[in-house]
Structure 1
Amino acid sequence: MGQDNLNSNIDDTNGNKNTTHIMYDPESILKKGVEFLQNINNKMDICVDANAPSTIVTIPDYFINYKTLAKRGCKIRFLTEITKENLAYCKEIMKVVDEFCHLDGIKGGIAVSEKEFMSTTRIIQKRLIIQCIYSDIEAVVEQGQYIFDSFWTNAIPALDRIKEIEKGVKREFIETIRNLAEIEKLLQVIFKHTVAEILIILSDNEDIYKQNIEYIIKLLTEFVSISDKIKIKLLIHRNAYTHHIVTKYLSEYLKAEKVEIHYLKDLFKTNLMLVISDKMVSIAIESKDKGQENVYAKALPFGLATYSNSEPTVSSLLAIFDNLWIQSASNS
């Protein structure tokens, strides 16, 4: 037997007793888990780490009740981290749940029904759970549902994750980033890991153009060596400052034919900085509006950024770049 269970009771607005239990005895936890499953009327949402699928499938009291829920027509949404090691167990669970999704990095687990909530901080493969919190207090159930829904929103379909594991398919993503430090870090990572080609368009916003081109040149000189085989194509606007900074910092790159520069025609206006790496990854960064001040005096003038390796997204941006590159050839 484990440690004693800890209980607390709260009266709801109707005078009914609601309880929260902290449980440490594996057999008691198993019994409460079975009761939880049997009490479900219409639906259960469950989010568990990568160790849990083996526990659910190999402990009959759990999996039999999952099958019973399916036969009763109860809706189950199941969320876990699918790995090579637990894939076979996940496929068994997929047969008895309505929706199954994958999310990286889940720790422990939570389960939420209409009126009850259970959670644990630790799950061991194929073993009974050794610590658990149970509650039927409405506020706790609502909070548990909110946590699950937040995770579910960021998850991907199980079949997509299974393709990644079994067929080596690369996962596509489109991320929206607002944090300036994250945007800077991503740009550094992109430049550092490019192996063949970087394509760049700079915003024509006069208030921030100087900062943008200085930052891009800093990234180029820091992460791209003249001896590298990487090619850089720059689409920028022609002015006195551009000529000065290109001559000062990029002359060696130009001599080595590492950098090609085309000057955008005045008719083309954009408030975006665009970077495409190896025709596989793109980041489009909005420039802050004129008159919009940064919190930090020396902060880069970056607003919202969209980062993606989605083939349709990158291909569309690449087509825009190529079209502008051709149009600007006579202007260079």
Structure 2
Amino acid sequence: MTGDHNEKSVDIERIDNGLTANLSRTSMDVSTFIIKGRKRALKEAYNRSLNVNHSYYCITGDELVKSYKPFLPLLQDQVLCRGGSSYIITNIEKDTIYAVKDLTAAGAEIKHIEISALRTSIIYDDTVAYFSIIEPVITQSATENVEQTEGEDLWVGSTELSVVQSAKKHFLSDWTNAVPATERIREVEEGTEPIFTKVLSNPDEIFSHMKHVIGIASKRLLCSSSGGMQMVYDNFFDLYERILEKYRKGEGDGVRWITTIDQDNKDLVNVFLNIGAQIRHLRNLPPMNFAVDNRYFHATIERMEGGKMMRTLLTSNEPIYVDHYNSIFEELWKNGIDASQRIRDIEEGVHLADIEVFQSASRARQVYLDIVKQATKEVLFIFPTPNAFVRQYKIGAISLAEKAAKEHNVIVRILMPANKLANETIQHLKQNYPHRIEIRYIEQMSDTKATILVVDRRQSLVMELRDDSRTTFDEAIGLSTYSNSKAGVLSYVAIFENLWKQTELYEDIKEAHEQLKMHDVMQKEFINVAAHELRTPIQPILGIADTLRSKQTDRQQQDYLDVIVRNAKRLQRLTEDILDITRIESKSLGLKKEVFNLVEIILNAIADSKNQIAKDRNNINLKLEFLNPEEDIFIEADKGRINQVISNLLSNAIKFTKDGTVNISAVLSKNEILVSIIDTGTGIDSEILPRLFTKFSTKSITGTGLGLFISKSIIEAHGGKIWGKNNSNNRGATFAFSLPASKNDKNQL
């Protein structure tokens, strides 16, 4: 039979008509009888084949091989001598092909069916049928009084019409779905197999299919819940013992298993370890249980609680599926903890903290979202860049936090750099959840770029930022580290709280500035008090952070402590600026004049700026040059204040010049000293230019707009002038100041 629909229909009709004809013309006593044991049943069936013209067999390949030699002459007599027919359905494998070929030569028509779908039956002239008791086709009353010996199955023979018709129905159904023997033999001999992907939902079919696949496997890779391990133990343990026995003899790759190991299932894990399985513990398993070898892939989303057999099973021999899940398993295996170590920790009562490192971005994403979903009290985020916030908003992390705040009153706090890209989302969160979601801004992290997530102060996930220019989460992140270690998690909480308090102080000051712009008198009073009060906590913060930094050996912890120090120093500079403003406005800015070399001050300021550029890595293509460093220029002035002005002007030039040059020059003439700083940056904003040297003149997110006002006051206190302008070529700006040349200055000419 070729598989064509019309030919198949004719073939089935021919068999069906033969069965019906025999039923209609045969007159026999109706009887049903029981035979104990498969061997006796098959022997009785073959003995009865002496006088039949038409026979129909559905038997396993093993049974076919064992019985075909004595049956061969009977078949030849039935088909060749008496003009009868014989139809056989069996599972054709490499070791049964020779028997199939001999039977085909004797006149039998044979088809192949997978052993998992095979239902054993033998029908002669539609008058005698044998069935395994596993699939009874008669009422329970027919066998209820039969004593069954352990290890023996009960077969039913019957000439009852309903039983024979049921056998006929099953046989025809199997014959329709079976593959012609010639096709199957070609597949086996050429090493090919039909590609399939299907979902099994019949429990018996699932069991038979898994038994067949495991039985021929030389390796098994499994990732399952403890329920899946219990299911394997209850149903297929002997087959896994067989795989591992072959492995010990150097055949195949054995069994590797990934599961979550705890107090409840450690004994079961030990059972599999004792027979040679390799097992690793993984806290966060994928949502799907799966098993894979070199040929087949199985998967189910059911947890198989208590070892229950799954009700649906996805199975496939598609190479793309098999290769894909082999790769997934290997990635998960890298992150697992050896089962023996895990069990030892459990038995010794060691604190069962998990630390997992994920190389796979997709795995990190899954764990990330799962952790946020588990939040019951608090979620803390630190985003190193605005792009990091946007990417993680896209994958749903922020939405999950929003849902937790809405449905479970979870407190969500976020630290991130300010940026217009995320402004709309941030405003939405602030307006809709003013008491449960709070967002504060920090400087963009240049030294350490990692997203930090802490949930309920019990779990943390740190995700390195590999490439911030990427638009998707998976492309942007590198290694990720999960931990539920109390000490580790609380260290990240401490970092978060330190940054949070600094932003609180900084936000308080900025808010005060906004109010004091409108209330000048209140402004002066508050700034004076606030600056003096801020001086007290800043120094201990710097001192403690520096001490912790010197004792810390972990690179990542050092980086985060550097962030604390940097922000504290920023706050310290702001405090000093505020005090300078107070002195300027109260006309109490004192100058401590001395004679010093201005060139040395400029060179030192340039060196400090270059160090900061190298550390920040934000201006890697920037060139900073002193045009005439050879000539010493001595001046009588306040050395600290002049250094403050030069450093401030250099800092501004660098801030607005990402690429290009910043040149500084100092020239001594008869009556004055002129210092100029020329950059090729973005220039001075047209809105800022008219009020360039007034207080709070800035459009920068991080600046306060006090530096130029203070610089102007210092220069004017020395009797000099300061100015700024955009360059004529529309590239960058020039800031310059002049100071009167004293007698000592002129002597250097």
TM-score, normalised to structure 2's length? 0.26
Q: Equivalent residue for 2:666?
A: none
| Matched residue type, 1:251 | T
Cα deviation digits, residues 163-206 of structure 1 (max 9, x gap) = 3322232446475899746634359959x9879x979xxxxxxx
Whether 1:164 and 2:345 are equivalent positions in the alignment is yes
| Matched residue type, 2:265 | N
Of the three residues 26, 33, 49, the one matched with 2:210 is: 33
- Cα distance in 1 for residues equivalent to 2:259 and 2:210: 18
| Matched residue type, 1:291 | N
Cα deviation digits, residues 64-92 of structure 1 (max 9, x gap) = 10111111114111111112211111111
Q: Equivalent residue for 2:334?
A: 153
* Alpha-carbon distance change, 247 to 154 in structure 1, aligned in 2, over 3 angstroms: farther
Of the three residues 200, 207, 229, the one matched with 1:53 is: 229
Cα deviation digits, residues 126-185 of structure 1 (max 9, x gap) = 211211011111111111212212211221111222133222324464758997466343
Q: Equivalent residue for 2:194?
A: 17
Question: What pairs with 1:78-157 in structure 2 (closer than 5 Å)?
Answer: 78-106=257-285, 107-122=287-302, 123-157=304-338
Structure 1 gap ranges (5+): 2-6, 200-211, 224-244, 277-286, 300-332
Give SS of 1:69's match.
helix
Whether 1:218 and 2:503 are equivalent positions in the alignment is no
Bigger fraction of residues in strand: 1
* Alpha-carbon distance change, 51 to 172 in structure 1, aligned in 2, over 3 angstroms: closer
CA contact (8 A) 1:198 1:275 kept: no
Q: Equivalent residue for 1:70?
A: 244
- Cα distance in 2 for residues equivalent to 1:144 and 1:117: 8
Q: Equivalent residue for 1:326?
A: none
* Alpha-carbon distance change, 121 to 247 in structure 1, aligned in 2, over 3 angstroms: farther
- Cα distance in 2 for residues equivalent to 1:67 and 1:36: 14
CA apart distance, 1:220: 4.6
The number of equivalent residue pairs is: 231
- Cα distance in 1 for residues equivalent to 2:311 and 2:559: 52
| Matched residue type, 2:559 | M
* Alpha-carbon distance change, 253 to 155 in structure 1, aligned in 2, over 3 angstroms: same
* Alpha-carbon distance change, 78 to 188 in structure 1, aligned in 2, over 3 angstroms: closer
Bigger fraction of residues in helix: 2
- Cα distance in 1 for residues equivalent to 2:225 and 2:338: 16
- Cα distance in 2 for residues equivalent to 1:246 and 1:259: 19
Of the three residues 178, 183, 187, the one matched with 2:451 is: 183
CA apart distance, 1:93: 1.2
CA contact (8 A) 1:110 1:120 kept: yes
Cα deviation digits, residues 259-299 of structure 1 (max 9, x gap) = 6365899xxxx9951459xxxxxxxxxx7633379xxx979
The higher radius of gyration belongs to 2
Sequence identity percentage: 14
Give SS of 1:104's match.
coil
CA apart distance, 1:98: 3.7
Q: Equivalent residue for 1:290?
A: 618
- Cα distance in 1 for residues equivalent to 2:309 and 2:336: 27
Cα deviation digits, residues 225-278 of structure 1 (max 9, x gap) = xxxxxxxxxxxxxxxxxxxx99764724868x996365899xxxx9951459xx
| Matched residue type, 1:120 | T
CA apart distance, 1:22: 0.2
- Cα distance in 2 for residues equivalent to 1:21 and 1:82: 31
- Higher RCO, 1 or 2 (CA under 8 Å, sep at least 6)? 1
CA contact (8 A) 1:77 1:97 kept: no
* Alpha-carbon distance change, 104 to 198 in structure 1, aligned in 2, over 3 angstroms: closer
CA contact (8 A) 2:283 2:354 kept: no
* Alpha-carbon distance change, 163 to 121 in structure 1, aligned in 2, over 3 angstroms: same
CA apart distance, 1:50: 2.4
* Alpha-carbon distance change, 103 to 172 in structure 1, aligned in 2, over 3 angstroms: closer
Q: Equivalent residue for 1:318?
A: none
* Alpha-carbon distance change, 112 to 173 in structure 1, aligned in 2, over 3 angstroms: same
Give SS of 1:83's match.
coil
TM-score, normalised to structure 1's length? 0.55
- Cα distance in 1 for residues equivalent to 2:347 and 2:240: 26
- Cα distance in 2 for residues equivalent to 1:175 and 1:32: 36
- Cα distance in 2 for residues equivalent to 1:105 and 1:246: 50
- Cα distance in 2 for residues equivalent to 1:153 and 1:35: 30
Whether 1:251 and 2:536 are equivalent positions in the alignment is yes
CA contact (8 A) 1:79 1:101 kept: yes
- Cα distance in 1 for residues equivalent to 2:260 and 2:246: 27
Q: Equivalent residue for 1:323?
A: none
